């Protein structure tokens, strides 16, 4: 199959491109590099892989047949979408419209990368797909949350009005190699701080929870959902929930760091207090569940980030 991956030069997108190539497909990655990098796809030297530098909030023209569109383009880290709130709203709305238009033109299916943020600061834990969420339209996170909520509604409209086979994956916090070192998310922040001997910055009291899923597991869930018949949203994430304080201690232990933990004010409002996916639907419908245990995934991620930090330091000193 010839698959399009919007956001293909990003963290999750680059892993998806790798997986699709490994499964024998042709891949066209489309990305404007606003938060991604060609470094993420530089290793994909394969005649079946193409890269198209383009902003999908503008009309997408692509020659030739397309068999499936994976629409992942969007800033995803709170630091990124706070820096680019308008671009985030545009890619969730206009970008999703264009991606759906491409799928309609090519007569193929589309998977939309949605997020656990559609649940906002949830009042039920864990969150099943049937929960409608608790989102502030005017809060700082609103640009991302509402863009994804609108994206989901648009996808459902295309499915109902035009009969496009669409899939919606609600991704929960995903981590792994190739996350940008300074994207501001808690995983790269704590690992870089621990490795560099800097203080680990907990925002708020550290009692808020997150559930971290290794990227290979997320991508596997995405591929299974794409090839399934499920037309309604499916949560993909790891139910292994922990507080941010516990996570800071885990990172200190796994890196062997002697850094201190410090507390800072929350940089955004509406920071979800708890987040844990209910994955009953993914288990039942897709036979999917996360396979990579927390420590194994974190050690792989720490090794990758240590190496990149060393390379950066060496480049800074003119050594490479």
CB atoms within 10 A of CB 142: 21
Tokens of 133: 């969420």
> Among ligand UDP, ligand NAD, none, what does residue 186 contact (CB within 5–8 Å per kind)?
ligand UDP
The rounded distance, in Å, linking the Cα atoms of 218 and 12 is 8
For residue 95, what is the DSSP state? Answer: I
Using the rule CB under 6 A, is 227 a contact of ligand UDP? no
144 as an active site residue: the answer is: yes
> Among ligand NAD, ligand UDP, none, what does residue 210 contact (CB within 5–8 Å per kind)?
ligand UDP
**Residues 258-280, buried b or exposed e (16+ Cβ, 10 A)?**
ebebeeeeeeeebbbebbbbbbe
For residue 143, the minimal CB distance to ligand NAD (Å) is 12
- SS3 (DSSP) at 272: coil
According to CB under 6 A, which residues from 145 to 174 bind ligand NAD? 171, 173-174
Helices (H), 168-293: 186-195, 215-226, 244-255, 280-281
Using the rule CB under 6 A, is 202 a contact of ligand UDP? yes
Using the rule CB under 6 A, is 192 a contact of ligand UDP? no
- Interface map 11-40 toward ligand UDP (x if CB under 6 A): ------------------------------
Contact (Cβ atoms closer than 8 angstroms) between residue 150 and residue 93: yes
The rounded distance, in Å, linking the Cα atoms of 131 and 128 is 6
According to CB under 6 A, which residues from 75 to 134 bind ligand NAD? 75-76, 91, 95, 113, 115
Query: Torsions phi, psi of 36, nearest 5?
Result: -100, -175
Judged by CB under 6 A, which of 33, 82, 156, 232 binds ligand NAD?
33
Interface with ligand NAD by CB under 6 A: which residues? Answer: 6-7, 9-13, 30-36, 55-57, 72-76, 91, 95, 113, 115, 171, 173-174
Interface residue list for ligand UDP (CB under 6 A) = 77-78, 173, 185-186, 189, 201-203, 208, 210, 244, 266, 271
């Amino acid at each position: 199959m010839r698959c399009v991956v919007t956001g293909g030069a990003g963290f999750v997108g680059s892993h998806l491109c790798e997986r699709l190539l490994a499964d024998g497909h042709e891949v066209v990655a489309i990305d404007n590099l606003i938060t991604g990098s060609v470094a993420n796809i530089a290793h994909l030297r394969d005649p079946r892989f193409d890269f198209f530098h383009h902003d999908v909030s503008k009309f997408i023209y692509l020659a030739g047949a397309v068999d499936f569109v994976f629409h992942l383009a969007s800033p995803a880290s709170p630091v990124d979408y706070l820096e680019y709130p308008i671009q985030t709203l545009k890619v969730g709305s206009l970008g999703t419209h264009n991606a759906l238009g491409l799928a309609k033109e090519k007569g193929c299916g589309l998977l939309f990368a949605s997020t656990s943020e559609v649940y906002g600061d949830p009042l039920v834990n864990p969150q099943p797909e049937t929960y409608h969420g608790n989102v502030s339209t005017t809060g700082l996170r609103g640009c991302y949350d509402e863009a994804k909520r609108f994206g989901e509604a648009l996808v459902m409209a295309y499915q109902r009005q035009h009969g496009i086979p669409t899939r919606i994956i609600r991704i929960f916090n995903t981590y792994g190699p190739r996350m940008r070192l300074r994207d501001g998310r808690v995983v790269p922040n704590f690992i870089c701080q621990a490795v560099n001997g800097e203080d680990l910055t907990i925002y708020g009291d550290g009692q808020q929870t997150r559930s971290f899923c290794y990227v290979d597991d997320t991508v596997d869930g995405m591929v299974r959902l794409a090839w399934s018949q499920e037309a309604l949203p499916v949560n993909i994430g790891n139910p292994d929930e922990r507080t941010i304080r516990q996570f800071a201690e885990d990172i200190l232990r796994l890196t062997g760091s002697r850094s201190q933990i410090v507390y800072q004010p929350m940089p955004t409002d509406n920071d979800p207090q708890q987040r844990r996916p209910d994955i009953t639907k993914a288990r039942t419908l897709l036979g999917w569940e996360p396979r990579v245990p927390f420590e194994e995934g974190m050690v792989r991620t720490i090794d990758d980030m240590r190496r990149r930090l060393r390379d950066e330091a060496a480049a800074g000193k003119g050594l490479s």
